[in-house]
């Protein structure tokens, strides 16, 4: 299957067979991390990382991935470039994208909720770069989607229900119950990671439950895709509005804060107001007591974790926590994405 040159903006736009190929390669790379099979795939090639927002895992994992593939990851920021905006003159996306494509083998972009004037604007920016650049555009997290995180998530879950690190069983995820539950917190998080989790859980044959307070529904298009994925696999999709019932019988619990659909007013992200709204909903923390009602579920989270608000330390650092496994898998998944879309395999 030829994935060379293909953009990775949302997992839903790749076929299930393409995602399977990606994850199979990621597992091989994890099992044999420093093999000479991988170390010249991006030899003498540069991957541009364009960060509108800072990160911990994203920058570190992409830089490590490029190095381990024999290439180089170059860090870019908007403030170091003269780019056109709604209020300032500068270089257009068309010009920037076409020039970057002459230099690099691929371009990753990270742009989250506080750097855009309305929901979806970050994803639109990635797609405009993809329109003009003839190199792969990789989504390093925008305000709608985070496909590399989604792939790292499902790989980690499948390892827990498989034979351990580097030996996932996606077959064993089929029919398992996935709970995505909203949580209170002070970080006013975007929808990107949780929406990818919905897409991958439903795509890989899991039953999906979303638990959230009134007013915290996610993107209707993502709900529609999730419902269609579940229906295609003969699985259930439901949305509940209380913090208790979703835990019953769950196999994977994902607890995370996210903002309301009204997070933007007059072209600005209302972080303070969103935090105040979230803190007005007590009782939405994942606790050991709630996890005890599951079917020996694993706890998953893309990090950073708002400990004490989203989940207790007892759960986040407990024996059934997959948080560090999925964090590690960012590296292996991204190596596989880069190798398949940019490399000489």
5 within some domain: no
128 within some domain: yes
Residues 86 and 126 in one domain: yes
Which tokens sit at 163? 């034979």
Which tokens sit at 332? 């292996």
Residues 163 and 261 in one domain: yes
Enter the pTM of the model: 0.96
Radius of gyration in angstroms for the set of CA atoms belonging to the chain, rounded to a whole number: 20
Residues 65 and 26 in one domain: yes
Residues 233 and 252 in one domain: yes
Q: Are 105 and 341 in contact (CB under 8 A)?
A: no
Residues 290 and 336 in one domain: no
Which letter does DSSP use for residue 83 in this model? B
- The Cα–Cα gap between 278 and 284 comes to 10
Closest CA to 147 of 321, 6, 52, 13: 13
Residues 196 and 298 in one domain: yes
Structural domain of residue 114, as residue ranges?
11-144+329-342
Residues 154 and 127 in one domain: no
46 within some domain: yes
Which CATH number is 254's domain given?
A: 3.40.50.1370
Which tokens sit at 85? 């905006």
Quote the number of domains for the chain.
2
**272 strand-pairing partners:** none
Phi and psi torsions of 158, nearest 5°: -70, -30
Q: Are 186 and 278 in contact (CB under 8 A)?
A: yes
Residues 136 and 87 in one domain: yes
**233 burial class (0-12, 13-18, 19+ CB within 10 angstroms)?**
middle
Q: What is the pLDDT along the chain (345 residues), one digit of tens a residue?
A: 589 999 999 999 999 999 999 999 999 999 999 999 999 999 999 999 999 998 889 999 999 999 999 999 999 998 877 776 666 777 899 999 999 999 999 999 999 999 999 999 999 999 999 999 999 999 999 999 999 999 999 999 999 999 999 999 999 999 999 999 999 988 999 999 999 999 999 999 999 999 999 999 999 999 999 999 999 999 999 999 999 999 999 999 999 999 999 999 999 999 999 999 998 998 999 999 999 999 999 999 999 999 999 999 999 999 999 999 999 999 999 999 999 999 977
pLDDT value for 87: 63
- The Cα–Cα gap between 215 and 258 comes to 11
């Amino acid at each position: 299957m030829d994935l060379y040159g293909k953009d990775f903006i949302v997992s839903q736009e790749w076929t299930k067979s393409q995602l399977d190929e990606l994850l199979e390669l990621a597992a091989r790379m994890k099992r044999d991390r420093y093999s000479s099979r991988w170390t010249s795939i991006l030899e003498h090639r540069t991957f541009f990382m364009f960060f509108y927002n800072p990160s911990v895992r994203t920058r570190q994992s992409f830089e490590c991935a490029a190095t381990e593939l024999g290439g180089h990851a170059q860090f870019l920021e908007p403030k170091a470039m003269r780019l056109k905006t709604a209020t300032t003159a500068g270089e257009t996306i068309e010009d920037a994208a076409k020039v970057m494509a002459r230099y690099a083998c691929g371009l990753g972009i990270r742009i989250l909720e506080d750097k855009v004037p309305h929901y979806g604007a970050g994803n639109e920016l990635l797609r405009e770069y993809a329109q003009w650049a003839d190199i792969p555009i990789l989504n390093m997290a925008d305000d709608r989607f985070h496909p590399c995180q989604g792939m790292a998530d499902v790989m980690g879950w499948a390892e827990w229900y498989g034979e351990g690190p580097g030996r996932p069983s996606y077959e064993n995820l089929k029919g398992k119950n996935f709970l995505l539950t909203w949580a209170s917190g002070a970080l006013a998080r975007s929808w990107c990671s949780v929406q990818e989790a919905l897409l991958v859980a439903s795509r890989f044959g899991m039953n999906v439950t979303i638990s959230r307070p009134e007013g915290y529904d996610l993107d209707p298009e993502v709900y529609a895709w999730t419902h269609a994925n579940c229906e295609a696999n003969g699985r259930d999709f439901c949305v509940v509005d209380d913090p208790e019932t979703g835990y019953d019988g769950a196999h994977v619990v994902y607890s995370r804060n996210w903002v309301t659909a009204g997070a933007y007013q007059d072209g600005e992200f209302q972080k303070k107001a969103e935090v105040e709204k979230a803190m007005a909903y007590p009782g939405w923390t994942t606790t050991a007591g709630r996890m005890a009602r599951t079917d020996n579920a694993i706890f998953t989270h893309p990090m950073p974790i708002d400990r004490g608000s989203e989940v207790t330390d007892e759960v986040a650092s407990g024996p059934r926590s997959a948080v560090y496994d999925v964090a590690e898998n960012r590296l292996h998944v991204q190596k596989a994405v880069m190798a398949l879309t940019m490399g000489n395999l």
